[in-house]
């Protein structure tokens, strides 16, 4: 197979997609190469604004998203690459506005500085179409509680599907050497309504998040992770892993801001 995907004809591309390159089970070198990318995917919230992401990198990143799994293979995602600085400024403005609103509402969420968004040389808006929910197991035209339960799960399937594609894109960006920023703080109606016409996004669609990436403005730091034994359970859920409501609240009050904005080595 040719190394350069761009050099492949459409037929060759189909053939390449159909062929699955099966590694030997337990191939450590492939795992290690993947983990290098996984552990180097680190969030930053300000970038080098003078860097220009080549179009090819955008395409490579979205190519990774394209191969993500999705419920019913519906692939319910749309990606809008933003390259015009004025658009970036406008969108960043909605987030800065949201930052202010949260401060006023006294949400006490340690909201980051969204001004850094306008500095992102890589800027991709991720949208979905909630009508795809009907591609998953739901009772058609039914308003029963039973169907509400199915619809709720169908929405989760949809969101997990888009998250899978978004994660693939983030990993591809990390593999290319970029730092990334996954931003979801746009759920609120006002920002959605402002952003959709600005980007020509049809009314039925929803903007889910923004993927920003690029070289970092300053040295990135690795954030704290729960130890493996705390998240892994074998055959039965380990009751020691269950937090009471109080413990959870305490974690949010005392630890959340530290794990979000501090170097892992400075978090006990």
Compare residues 38 and 232 and give the one whose CB is closer to ligand FMN: 38
Q: Is 260 in the site for ligand FMN (CB under 6 A)?
A: yes
> Taking contact as CB under 6 A, which single stretch among the options 2-10, 74-82, 101-109, 181-189 is the one that binds ligand FMN?
181-189
CB of 74 to ligand FMN, least distance (A): 20
Compare residues 56 and 113 and give the one whose CB is closer to ligand FMN: 113
Q: Which residues have a Cβ under 8 Å from the Cβ of 223 and sit 6 or more positions away? A: 42, 43, 259, 260, 262, 263, 264
Instruction: Look at residue 54 and give its three-state secondary structure.
Output: coil
Rg for the chain (alpha carbons), in Å?
A: 21
Q: Is 185 in the site for ligand FMN (CB under 6 A)?
A: yes
DSSP one-letter code for 236: B
Q: Which of 112, 121, 122, 216 binds ligand FMN (CB under 6 A)?
A: 112
CB of 196 to ligand FMN, least distance (A): 18
Compare residues 133 and 173 and give the one whose CB is closer to ligand FMN: 173
Q: Which of 79, 109, 130, 182 binds ligand FMN (CB under 6 A)?
A: 182
User: Alpha-carbon distance 170 to 178, whole Å?
Assistant: 9
Could you tell me if 180 and 212 are in contact, meaning their C-beta atoms sit under 8 angstroms apart? yes
Angle formed at CA 120 by CA 119 and CA 124, multiple of 5 degrees: 140
Instruction: Look at residue 12 and give its three-state secondary structure.
Output: helix
User: Alpha-carbon distance 206 to 162, whole Å?
Assistant: 12
194-223 residues near ligand FMN, rule: CB under 6 A: 223
Compare residues 130 and 150 and give the one whose CB is closer to ligand FMN: 130
Q: Is 81 in the site for ligand FMN (CB under 6 A)?
A: no
CB of 43 to ligand FMN, least distance (A): 3
Q: Which of 184, 188, 233, 253 binds ligand FMN (CB under 6 A)?
A: 184
Binding site for ligand FMN (CB under 6 A): 42-43, 45, 112, 182-185, 223, 260
């Amino acid at each position: 197979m040719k190394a350069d995907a761009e050099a492949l004809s459409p037929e060759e591309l189909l053939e390449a997609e159909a062929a699955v390159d099966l590694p030997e089970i337990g191939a450590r070198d492939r795992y290690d190469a993947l983990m290098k990318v996984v552990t180097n995917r680190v969030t930053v919230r300000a970038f080098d604004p003078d860097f220009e992401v080549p179009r090819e990198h955008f395409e490579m990143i979205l190519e990774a998203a394209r191969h993500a799994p999705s419920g019913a293979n519906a692939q319910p995602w749309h990606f809008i690459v933003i390259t015009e600085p004025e658009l970036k400024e406008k969108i960043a403005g909605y987030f800065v506005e949201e930052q202010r609103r949260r401060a006023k509402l006294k949400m006490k969420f340690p909201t980051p500085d969204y001004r850094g968004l306008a500095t992102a040389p890589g800027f991709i808006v991720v949208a979905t179409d909630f009508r795809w929910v009907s591609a998953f197991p739901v009772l058609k035209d039914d308003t029963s509680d039973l169907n509400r339960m199915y619809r709720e799960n169908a929405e989760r399937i949809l969101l997990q599907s888009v998250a899978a594609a978004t994660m693939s894109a983030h990993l591809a960006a990390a593999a290319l050497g970029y730092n990334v920023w996954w931003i979801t703080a746009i759920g609120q109606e006002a920002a959605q309504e402002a952003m959709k016409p600005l980007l020509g996004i049809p009314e039925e669609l929803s903007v889910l998040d923004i993927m920003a990436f690029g070289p970092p403005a300053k040295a990135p730091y690795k954030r704290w992770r729960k130890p493996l034994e705390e998240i892994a359970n074998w055959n039965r859920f380990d009751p020691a892993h269950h937090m009471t409501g109080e413990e959870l609240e305490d974690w949010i009050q005392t630890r959340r801001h530290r794990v979000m904005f501090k170097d892992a080595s400075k978090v006990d």
